[in-house]
Amino acid sequence: MNFLTVDDSSTMRKIVSLALKGAGHDSDEAENGQQALDALKTKKPGCIILDINMPVMNGIDFLKARQADASIKSIPVIVLTTQDDQALKDQAMSLGANAFIVKPFQKEDILAVIAKVTS
């Protein structure tokens, strides 16, 4: 399955990419929400891994934009953030996020969530 990893940290994008590659998936990357929206115009991934705190356009604004765009609304989104905050989690889920994972993540956990979200 093809993924789009949206995170301003290149290190974290590589880590996610390696974890996905190990499970037989491939991943494209975007540095923020706006780059992700641009990328989604040309290619629709099977799932989006989304950070929250990013420059230019953060994860919450991206979720709002996704909700308003019918062409990408159905793509599952897994939020992957350092912010262990229940209010933020509730907000993300109310904006259509399919899962919420706090960094640092375990590979097995994220793969299990992916399997659940994309099944």
Partner 1 sequence: MQKLSAFAALGILTSLAAVALSILNLPGIAAVLSALAALAALLCLSIGLSKKNKAQTSDEACQAPAPPSPLVEIQEEAPALAPTSPSGSELEDLLCQAQTLSPFLNAILAAIPQTTEDATFHVLEKYEAVRDITTKAANLARELAESAHSEKGNESGLIISHSRETVQAERRTVQAMAKQTRDNTKKLRLVAKELESGLDFVKGIEEITDRSQLIAFNMAIEAAHIGEKGRGFKVIVGELRTLNDRTLEFSQRISGLFSRFRDYTAEMVSSMAEQSDQAIGELEESMAASEKAVESLIGASEEADNFSRELAQDTMQIDKALDSILESLQFQDISRQMVERSRAILAEIEEKLLSLRSLVGHSEGPEGERATIHFTQTKDRLIGKAITRAEREAISEVSR
Contacting residues toward partner 1, per CB under 8 A: 9, 11-12, 14-15, 18-19, 21-22, 53, 82-85, 103-108
Give 69 or 108: the residue with its C-beta nearer to partner 1. 108
Strands (E), the chain: 2-6, 26-30, 47-50, 77-81, 99-102
Residue ranges of alpha helices (H) inside 1-119 are 10-22, 33-42, 59-68, 86-94, 107-118
Q: How far is the CB of 53 from partner 1 (least distance, A)?
A: 5
Q: Please state the closest distance from residue 41 (CB atom) to partner 1, in A.
A: 29
CB of 105: closest distance to partner 1 in angstroms? 7
Q: What is the token pair recorded at 64?
A: 């709002």
Strand-strand pairing, 77-81 and 26-30: unpaired
Closer CB to partner 1, 44 or 53, in the complex: 53
- Closer to partner 1 by Cβ: residue 64 or 103: 103
